[in-house]
Each structure stands twice: as C-alpha cells, then as structure tokens.
Structure 1
Amino acid sequence: MRKSLFALAAVAATLAAGAARAETATYAVEPTHTFATFEISHFGAAVNRGRFDKKEGTVELDKAAKTGKVDITFQINSINTGVAPFDKHLQSADIFDAAKYPTARFVGDKFVFEGDKLVSVTGELTIKGKAQPATFKANQFACYQSPMLKREVCGGDFETTIDRTQFGVDYGVQFGMPKNVRIVAQIEAVKQ
C-alpha cells in the first residue's frame, strides 16, 4: 500500500511538472503599441528624442514558473525624431550606419520577479553588430484580456541607460555630447 501511494505521488509530481512546462505561452509583438524611444542630452540644454517605428518580435512567458524570453528587432531606417534631416544623419555611417547595420535587437532571457510582479528583463542588446549585456527595469507590467482582440495581451513599460560608445556609436563625444543614452521601451504582445 505504501509503495502504491509513493508511486501515485511520483506520477502526480511528474504530471504537475509537465503541466507547469505546458504553461509557456507565445505572444507576438503588437507593433502599434510597441516602441523603443531614446533620449540623449544635447549639450545640457535640451534632450534629443527619437523612436524606431518598424519592429517585430515575440515574447515567451510562463507566469507560473516566472520565466520568459523576449526577442525584438527594430529597423534602424525607421528612426523618427520628427526632423527628417536629423533622421537621415542618425541613419548615416556617422551614427547608426543603417546601410551596414539595418537592425538593432534585444534578446532577453532572464526575467526577474518579486512575487508576481515582473521587475526586470536582462539579456543582450545588439547595435551596429556589437552585443552588450543590458537590463531593462520594468516600470509597469500587466496581462489583460483585450476587449477588442478577444485574446490575452501582456505588456509593460521598461527602461535602461546604455553607454553608446560600447556599441560604436560615438559621434559627438569629441564635442562634449554625453555617452549615456536612456532607452524607454513600451511593449505589448498578443497571445498566439
């Protein structure tokens, strides 16, 4: 009888472990609610801002295991500051060199939770072909049932600050422009 109970408990534990793995869901990035915005001080007088309008990616999330993965790519030639000549300069070989490096990419696979609250995602950010570790702090994150899409949507607002020279983006440093760039990423992704 004792062996039967032990065997039954082992089978239940195996089934529970399988069920936990089966909770990983895949979400497709929803492009109208997803943007990466950058901010850099302009000689301490103002802040230059811009965003990337074309993007695609996926998010995998297992809420029970508190694990996940995000893989998102931004098209450099979609940079939008609201000033066309500035956009062209940012795309040029002086700065992002969009002809040679057409995309920037973030792949994050370390999700950190405090209780049920997602607090950060760590991974690799690649700009101009150079990958560097990056941690995006979650300012907010939630999943909800979209009344329009009739599916679950998860999303949040994240931020990090990078040293752009680590990616070979060092235009203007010699003139006194700062190395640090703040990135604010808003993302929403739809369960598939």
Structure 2
Amino acid sequence: MKTFSFIGMVAGIITLSAFTINNSINWKISDGYSIKFSSEDPSGVFTKLKGNIAFDETNLSSSSFDLEVDVNSINTGNGMQNKHAVGKKWFNAELYPTIHFISEKFVKTSKGYQVMGALEMHGVKKNFTMPFTFVNNTFISSFTVDRTEFDLGATKGMSAKVPHEITLDISVPVTK
C-alpha cells in the first residue's frame, strides 16, 4: 500500500510540475506579417518567415522564439538588386539560406519587452537584443543591425555606399 501511495505522489508531482515548467502560450504566425528593412539604399522586405513562438507575459522564463527568415524572399523592388542581395558578395543564399534567431532570455521593460538571444546571418552568429511590444496578439519590433558585423557586403567599392546600419521594422500577428 505504501508503494502505491508513493508512486501516486510521484506521478502527481511530475504532472503538476509539467504545468509549471512549460505553461507558456504557443502562438502560430498569422498571415499579414511584415519584415521591412530600410536605409538610404537599399530598402525592401522579406516575405517568408517561419518558426516557433512560445510567449506568456506573466511567465517570461517559459517563453521562447525560434524564427527563420528565408533570405531568398528578399524584395527591394529592383530585380537586379534582389539578385545581388542573394549573391555571394552579400547574403550568399546558396550557403546561408536563412536568417535565424533563437531566444535565450526575455525581460520586461518600461516600453514593452526585450528578448536576448543568438542572431545568425551569413554564417555569423552574434548575441543580439531585440526590443518588442506585444499588443492585440501582434509582436512589433524596430531595431538596427550593423551589416558589417555579419560580413554582409564589402566596406569598399560600390558596396561601401550601402550604410552599415540597416533598420528593421517587424510586425508579426499571431493566433493561439
């Protein structure tokens, strides 16, 4: 009888801990997301995003992002510029087909949230902090990336005309 009670107690503890360990809300990326980038030149969008989002405003430690942007989905509005962007001198989409972000930690701020994690682009992985808000089931973020930190494009010749800092404006509506 004591064995049965002990097994029942252990099973109960494991069951209850499963709810406290991962009680974040899993979100599905909805259509209508937007990934815009801008500088003096170029500007444009990425049109393909996929990944997993688990986010709970009341339990940030259980939250996680694992997101990928398809580099080949770049659209600057200029076919020749798109071709150069995915080529070997820039994103080299053949070798590095995605921009990948994996979260490590979430923090509440006075303006919303910050997510810290690893951003990998063009084969270079860097620690990165991304600010965002979460309003009406939509993640919204605006930040800059220094392209030279990810070895994107040269810093001399024609590529030197492209600013180092690129601004990204992201809006990702989600559903449960």
**Shift in Å at residue 36 of structure 1?**
2.1
Is the alpha carbon distance of 1:28 and 1:109 closer, same or farther for their aligned partners in structure 2, counting shifts above 3 Å?
farther
Distance 2:48 2:38 in 1: 18
Match of 1:99 among 94, 97, 111: 94
SS of alignment partner, residue 70 of structure 1: strand
Deviations 1:103-156 (A, max 9, x none): 1111123211148x7322121111111111221112x3124xxxxxxxxxx322
Q: Which runs of 5+ in 2 are unaligned?
A: 1-13
SS of alignment partner, residue 165 of structure 1: helix
Match of 1:51 among 45, 51, 72: 45
The corresponding residue for 1:6 is none
The corresponding residue for 2:21 is 21
SS of alignment partner, residue 41 of structure 1: coil
The corresponding residue for 1:162 is 145
Q: Which runs of 5+ in 1 are unaligned?
A: 1-13, 43-47, 144-153
Match of 1:137 among 122, 127, 131: 131
Distance 1:52 1:176 in 2: 21
**Shift in Å at residue 61 of structure 1?**
1.5
**Shift in Å at residue 91 of structure 1?**
0.9
Counterparts of 1:42-191 in structure 2 under 5 Å?
Answer: 42=41, 48-67=42-61, 68-114=63-109, 118-138=112-132, 140-143=133-136, 154-171=137-154, 173-174=156-157, 175-191=160-176
SS of alignment partner, residue 43 of structure 2: strand
TM-score, normalisation: structure 2: 0.79
CA contact 1:121–1:136 (8 Å) conserved in 2: yes
CA contact 1:160–1:184 (8 Å) conserved in 2: yes
Is the alpha carbon distance of 1:167 and 1:114 closer, same or farther for their aligned partners in structure 2, counting shifts above 3 Å?
closer
The corresponding residue for 1:39 is 38
Is the alpha carbon distance of 1:15 and 1:103 closer, same or farther for their aligned partners in structure 2, counting shifts above 3 Å?
closer
The corresponding residue for 2:11 is none
CA contact 1:135–1:160 (8 Å) conserved in 2: no
TM-score, normalisation: structure 1: 0.73
Distance 1:184 1:34 in 2: 11
The corresponding residue for 1:8 is none
Distance 1:82 1:176 in 2: 18
In percent, how many aligned pairs have the same letter?
Answer: 24
Tell me the C-alpha RMSD between the 2 structures: 2.6
Distance 2:156 2:146 in 1: 11
Report the count of equivalent residues.
161
CA contact 1:106–1:126 (8 Å) conserved in 2: yes
- The structure with the greater share of residues assigned to strand is 1
